[in-house]
Amino acid sequence: MIGLPHRQRLPDTAMDLKPLVTLLAIVNPLAIVPFFIHYTQGFSDAQRRNTVWVSSVSAFVVIAVSAMLGLQILAFFGITLASFQVGGGMLLMTSALNMLNAQPAEAKPSSHELQDGAEKAAMGASIAVVPLTIPLLTGPATISTVVIYADKAKSFLQLGTLVGYGVVVALATALCFSLAQPIARILGKTGINVMTRLMGLILAALAVEVMSDGLTKLFPALGVR
């Protein structure tokens, strides 16, 4: 009985790991390893290390900005969070279906767009930001997920925890990209496909929960039991 009040206060001061699991499932840097290898072909070790660093930091920046300013942007455009939750949940479900088919969560460029991306890189555009970070790592599904969980944050500590999860995602990205060659050799295409499908299954369940929450807010009668 003594520990009960403390356990009741916990949700107000700390955020559970669900946002982190969701973000890792969507970003899924393991699935982006083949793209990283493709885009960094012919790079020196120093150039590859710089690409890893810029991609990781850029992924964190996207998540942090979405967490800190996402709700204000929605308010500016007059979009309710409930509508955003339903739309974001649909994006998550689409991402999950892609992953269950062993495809990365976010939409990927076609072969023609890959050629265009290489030409842009030759003209000086940074592939570490586009397309590796946006949209390969952090696309619409990632941004909507962060905004939805930012609204659930009940304190500055919880919001800071969400931003901290962005650091974890950035570190996971840096680790996977730094070990891209060994990972590709050890897991192979089959191993990466299996990991992608498992993360897709988790993401599908989370997508249903997000959409259910949004629909209940839009249509309160749905929550009556």
Q: Are 58 and 129 in contact (CB under 8 A)?
A: yes
CA angle 195, 213, 83 (to 5 degrees): 100
Cβ atoms 134, 11 nearer than 8 A: no
H-helix segments, 40-155: 45-77, 81-100, 111-122, 140-152
Spatial contact of 136 and 35, defined as CB atoms under 8 Å apart:
yes
What is the phi/psi pair of residue 131, to 5°? -105, 0
How high is the mean pLDDT of the chain? 80
pLDDT for the residue 127:
80
5-47 tens-digit pLDDT? 443 444 444 558 889 999 999 898 988 888 888 778 778 888 8
Mean per-residue pLDDT for 72-82?
Answer: 88
Give backbone dihedrals phi and psi of 106, rounded to 5 degrees, phi first: -85, 155
* pLDDT 10s digits, 175-206: 999 999 898 888 887 887 887 788 788 888 88
CA distance 188 to 151: 39
Residue spans of the domains in the chain: they are: 33-216
Instruction: Name every residue whose Cβ is closer than 8 Å to that of residue 16 and which is 6 or more positions away in sequence.
Output: none
